Structure 1
Amino acid sequence: MTTSETVLPLTRKERHAGFLSIFWLWAGGNVLLTNFVSGSSYALGLGFWPMLVITVTGYLFALAFCSWDSQRSARYGIDEMVSLRPTFGYHGSIYGVVVLVGVNFGWVGILASLAGSAMKLVVQNLAGGLTFSGDYTLYALVVGIVLPLIIIMFSQKAAFQLSKITVPILLAFVAYIVVRLVTGGYWTKVTTTPSNGSQSWMSAFEIIFAFAISWFPYLGSWNRFARRERIGFWGTYLGLAVTGILFAVVGGMATLATGQTDPALWSNQLDLGLAALVIIILGTVTSVTHLLGSGSMGILSVAPKWNYRWVCVIVTIPSAIFVFATSLQEIFNILLIFVGLLAGPYWGVALTDYFFLRKQKIDVRACYDVNGAYRYTGGVNLVAFGCMVVGMAVWIFLGGWLSGMSLLTFSAGESVFRYTSATLPSMIISGLLYYVVAKGFFATSTMGGYRPVSGRAGGERTGTPVRT
């Protein structure tokens, strides 16, 4: 097993990824068919021009947070979950692993279901309508789960090579869809279909922002390979933005043209040909390979002695449950609520801690020492979690109504949501609260302070919290 298949910090010599490698990696990771679904989810509610404006501006803003977060791992060569230990404690970072695995199950399951639908249509078109009992399930499991699992079990680095091959093909496919929509008699319908009022600008922004920050748990698994922080930042930002915006806009356009949100269905309805459905399958394999690699590294951060390839299997199997989901849109919405509520405030605290309190200085060795500087109280920074809970309460007040549960619906919060959304305010409030409380609390406690010491990145002892 190589160092890249463990959660040990990577030395400078082991960080092989330049700008183009990181760019293609994240472009490949973000050729998610769910990006199509994200644009589709609010296109009918807003209409074409508002959909275009909110997609471009919303993603450019939201993905800046992802690129900002990615710098921790790029600087120190450590996995995302390990990099959270200075903030939440050696054991407190396990919460991030739980979020990662939960998000992973949902995304992989949704993508596998899309691959199953596309594969079924491919076979029917090639074999004169051939179908059999359980064909969708078989295709979804084999193409959407088993094939990516085999690739990532072979090597985590395989995701880099796969992206370089598939992303140009997928981008060419999306360009073809745009040409088809513009020249195939659909453009007038795309641009003139009126808004049905089912979504507001702010609800669309919430979808975009929550969808974008769902990348938080994955960033460090791959950006630890970046040669420099600047490469990690810009490669991540541009890679995610180019494909994210393009796929969301095209998905929204296709939905306006057909009324369908499932890419397999609107591809077929737009008569894009078998090539389009094959491309959907290729995109699924690429994206799921990235997701499984990140999920596996998250589990290894908690159980570093476990075998990498068996962990890949463990992180994959539960995703098969979502293959049997009855509503793609419903599962998509639930997953975004999960991200906004459970991930937003958590990473809001982490960003504040790393950039504003620790000034980007952490002790890499202490991140691997259960009795080291980041042990806090039983391995958990209770102050950080307390501020996170406040942020979660803010999210529930503002966005609880999105769940459809009366218990979590507050009319006052729903009214405020129209101007603020839910996930971004919950991150800001949890982060600001932590900054204020930590500045006072850690200056007088024995849990560790934030006075940085000089040092170098890349596995050396850097930024040790000073006990006061």
Structure 2
Amino acid sequence: MSESSIRENVSFDEAGKNLVAYREAAERGDAPILPSERLWGFWEFTYANSALAIATWAFLIGGSVGLFVGPREGIAAIIIGNIIGVVLTAFATTCMTGRYGVEQFVGLRSQFGYNGTRLVYVLAVVVLTMGWLAVLAMMFGRSIDGLIALSNGGQASPTGIKMMIAAILAILVTWFVVAKGPTSIKFFNMVISPALVLLMGVMLYLILSKHSFSELMLLPAIDPPFEDKHLNFIIAVEVNLAAGFSWWPYIGNLARLTKNERTAFWPNILGIFGAAALGEIVGLLAAVALGESDPTIWMTKIAGPAVGVIALLFVAFANMTSMANILYTSIVGLRQVGTDTVRKIPWGGILFLFCLIPLGLVVFYPQMYDGFLIFLVWTSALNSALAGIGIADYFFLRGQRLDMRKLHGPQEKGPYSFLGGFNPIGILSLAIGFVVYVWIFNPQTLDSLSVFKFVTASVPSCLVAGLMHYVLSRLFAHGRGWGDYPSN
């Protein structure tokens, strides 16, 4: 879409009176970002995605895979689950935001209505992002605690006061970085991402220097929960599907900073999938080789104290890079779904308020770190359905056409008001997708139907939610004039 057509197609009220005001509004998500104002080309977005994907969570997910299967099956599960989840998530989010420069949750008004989008934001972003910020901060804290233990020869205390202080500092520094805007995040990404890719290579080399590849491939799983190896493998695939779909709330708003639609989509394959898969494979191999899934422990065992200090330091800052990216995208969305009172809060102020709950979780619920795998898989019950709805709506119902003026204009009587600001079709489809997921596979207990071993839970949830949204929209939305869908 050309810059002139975006200018003509969007109503941004007072912000439209001058380019400086427009730039500020676009940066905060109040208007589409013009192509000439976008920050990232192909490699810059690849670096940004890599920095987001390479965090201790990749090591933890890989280590968790090692609980179910050995390296041979685990590598297959990592590749299969992540590529499917990332591709479907990228289609659902980045194509729309990359083409129009629209903020992701403004675009979602076309799928759920302006009030329905607020509901989705609370479910998919507030709960998810606050949890991830707390988990990543605690990962940072554990890395710093491990560094201190290595330097003075003492014992690490994963839930001790040093971890807590470091985690709090990580959240506060992240708040400061994001308060400076996306330019500072870009610099952070460009510095950290290449160094972390190099670190992954070093860790992989050190693992292979102590265990041959053939030896690693023969190692068993750490603690498989079922005697059925096929079931254990599919659970490992499901964990990685959840990892792939977990990017749904974030990569859309990162993609709106890219130059065009292609640049918004393809770097996700190299950056998100490639970097996450590399980190997970390293975590998997280390976990089965040492019988320990926590990277803040196995890194020092593999690399030794000297290299371990450097590794933990890089991983600590990788977490902060991921925290900065997800916090920025979440607050950009919050400004769009929030009330007028929320929108009047200064950028730095709303960032700090959002960080209060993660700070509370770090202080009062550090045990959350150890239960992150269950937390991760639960998120896929929601995110997989959201991806299916997004693909069905944007590609099959709208033919990739959105009206920027209507999306950014008054919503109460606009075409995206649906029924009281809620699109009952989108919300019903989301609920059905969620129920299908939990019916097939319960993340809390690992109980599953027999069909789970052949189709997983995320894929049926995505397909059913998307199909329901498409069929019901065709049957009912057109006749009621809901959603500004094309007549053909």
Specify if TM > 0.5: yes
**1:76, distance to aligned residue in structure 2 (A):** 0.9
Give the equivalent residue in structure 1 for 2:354.
Answer: 315
Q: Provide the secondary structure at the position in 2 that maps to 1:310.
A: helix
Q: What is the aligned counterpart of 1:342 among 382, 386, 389?
A: 382
Please list every run of 5 or more consecutive structure 1 residues that lacks an aligned counterpart in the other structure.
454-468
- Cα distance in structure 1, aligned partners of 2:215 and 2:134: 32
- Structure 1 pair 72/57, CA: closer, same or farther in 2 (3 Å)? same
In 2, distance between residues paired with 1:306 and 1:237? 36
Task: Indicate the residue corresponding to 1:328 in structure 2.
Answer: 369
Q: Which is worse superposed, 301-310 or 22-31?
A: 301-310
Matches within 5 A, 1:366-385: 366-368=406-408, 369-370=410-411, 371-385=413-427
Residue 7 (structure 2) aligns with: none
Q: Secondary structure at the match of 2:281?
A: helix
Q: Aligned pair 1:106/2:138, yes or no?
A: no
Q: Does the CA contact (< 8 Å) of 1:106 and 1:335 recur in 2? A: no
Cα displacement (A) at 1:290: 0.7
RMSD of aligned alpha carbons:
2.1
**C-alpha distance in structure 2 between counterparts of 1:174 and 1:115, whole Å:** 17
Aligned equivalents of 2:435, 2:355: Cα separation in 1:
31
Q: CA deviation at 1:191?
A: 2.8
Q: Who is 1:458 aligned against?
A: none
TM-aligned CA distance change 1:186 to 1:314, over 3 Å: farther
TM-score, with structure 1 as normaliser: 0.90
Which residue of 1 is the match for residue 464 of structure 2? 429
The reply to whether residue 261 of structure 1 matches residue 293 of structure 2 is yes
Which residue number in structure 1 is paired with residue 254 of structure 2? 222
Task: Give, in angstroms, the shift of residue 452 of structure 1.
Answer: 6.4
SS of the residue corresponding to residue 281 of structure 1 reads helix
Instruction: Determine the C-alpha separation between the residues in 2 that align with 1:225 and 1:115.
Output: 27
**Structure with the largest fraction of helix:** 2
CA contact (8 A) 2:246 2:376 kept: no
1:363-398 CA-to-partner distances (Å, cap 9, x unmatched) read 111112212111111111111111222212211211
The alignment covers a number of residue pairs equal to 444
Aligned equivalents of 2:358 and 2:376: distance in 1? 13
1:25-424 equivalences under 5 Å are 25-69=48-92, 70-98=94-122, 99-129=124-154, 134-142=161-169, 144-185=170-211, 190-195=216-221, 196-198=223-225, 200-270=232-302, 271=304, 272-303=307-338, 304-323=343-362, 324-326=365-367, 328-337=369-378, 339-368=379-408, 369-370=410-411, 371-400=413-442, 402-404=443-445, 413-424=448-459
Q: 1:185: how far off? A: 4.4
What do residues 44-80 of structure 1 show as CA deviations (whole Å, max 9, x unaligned)?
3211111112212322222111221211000111111
After superposition, the C-alpha distances for 1:171-205 in whole angstroms (9 at most, x for unaligned) are 11111111100113475663332234336121111
SS at match of 1:252: helix
Secondary structure of the 2:418 match is: coil
CA distances 1:257-306 after superposition (whole Å, capped 9, x unpaired): 11111110111222242111111111111111111111111211123333
Question: What is the Cα deviation at residue 449 of structure 1?
Answer: 5.0
Moved more, 65-74 or 298-307: 298-307
Taking a change above 3 Å as real, the CA distance of residues 449 and 372 of structure 1, as seen in their structure-2 partners, is: closer
Letter in 2 for 1:309: G
Letter in 1 for 2:275: T
Which residue identity lines up with residue 230 of structure 1 in the other structure? Answer: R
* Structure 2: runs of 5+ lacking an equivalent: 1-20, 226-230
Structure 2 CA distance for aligned equivalents of residues 173 and 32 of structure 1: 11
Among all aligned residue pairs of Structure 1 and Structure 2, give the percentage whose two residues are the same amino acid: 23
CA distance in 1, matches of 2:482, 2:152: 67
Amino acid at match of 2:459: L
Whole-angstrom distance in 2 between the partners of 1:58 and 1:297: 29
Query: Are the counterparts in 1 of residues 97 and 103 from structure 2 also a CA contact under 8 Å?
Result: yes
Contact 1:25 1:160 in 2 (8 A): yes
d(CA) in 1 for partners of 2:245, 2:51: 17
- Which residue in the other structure is 2:43 paired with? 20
- In structure 2, the residue matched to 1:464 is none
The 3-state SS of whatever aligns with 1:129 is coil
Aligned residues of 2:72 and 2:218 also touching (Cα < 8 A): no
CA shift for structure 1 position 90: 1.3
Q: Secondary structure at the match of 2:182?
A: coil
TM-superposed deviation, 1:320: 2.4
Is the alpha carbon distance of 1:189 and 1:14 closer, same or farther for their aligned partners in structure 2, counting shifts above 3 Å?
same
Report the alpha carbon displacement of residue 444 of structure 1 after superposing the two structures with TM.
Answer: 2.0
Out of 448, 451, 454, the residue aligned to residue 486 of structure 2 is 451
Partners of 1:89 and 1:376 within 8 A in 2: yes
Is the CA contact 2:417–2:483 (under 8 Å) kept in the aligned structure 1? no
